[in-house]
Amino acid sequence: DVKVTQSSRYLVKRTGEKVFLECVQDMDHENMFWYRQDPGLGLRLIYFSYDVKMKEKGDIPEGYSVSREKKERFSLILESASTNQTSMYLCASSPPEWKGTDTQYFGPGTRLTVL
């Protein structure tokens, strides 16, 4: 089974702090994704990476950056956390093409609260 893990389930940070959210997948997937999930808004794509050191902005990249130094690890960085970044953050991974029953595989999520 594919396993996607995230470094923390719950995180509380102060406004202005630099925040790192880590995601690791064990299926050698090329694609990795960061989403934020908010009530009434569904999941929105923040950043996408299709290979090591390759990244692409999603729909809401402002205030975020990412890092992918190794294939299995994709980090989301909040350079200076703000209260409007309080949210649930989901990481996902997938193979490069939709074959068979391929899908995106999700981590358990990190609920971040910025005070």
Partner 1 sequence: AQTVTQSQPEMSVQEAETVTLSCTYDTSENNYYLFWYKQPPSRQMILVIRQEAYKQQNATENRFSVNFQKAAKSFSLKISDSQLGDTAMYFCAFDRTLYGGATNKLIFGTGTLLAVQP
Decide if residue 58 touches partner 1 (CB under 8 A). yes
**Whole-number Å distance between alpha carbons of 31 and 36:** 17
Q: Which is nearer to partner 1, 29 or 81 (CB)?
A: 29
DSSP codes of every residue in 32-67: EEEEEEETTTEEEEEEEEEETTEEEE-S--TTEEEE
CB of 32 to partner 1, least distance (A): 10
Place of tokens 């202005």: 16
Site map 22..41 versus partner 1, x via CB under 8 A: ---------x-x-x----xx
Which of 43, 63, 67, 77 is in the footprint of partner 1 by CB under 8 A? 43
Binding of partner 1 by 48 (CB under 8 A): yes
Q: Give the max Cα distance, the chain.
A: 45
Binding of partner 1 at residue 104 (CB under 8 A)?
Answer: yes
CB of 7 to partner 1, least distance (A): 15
Minimum CB distance to partner 1 smaller for 66 or for 81 = 66
Nearest Cα residue to 89 out of 16, 27, 6:
6
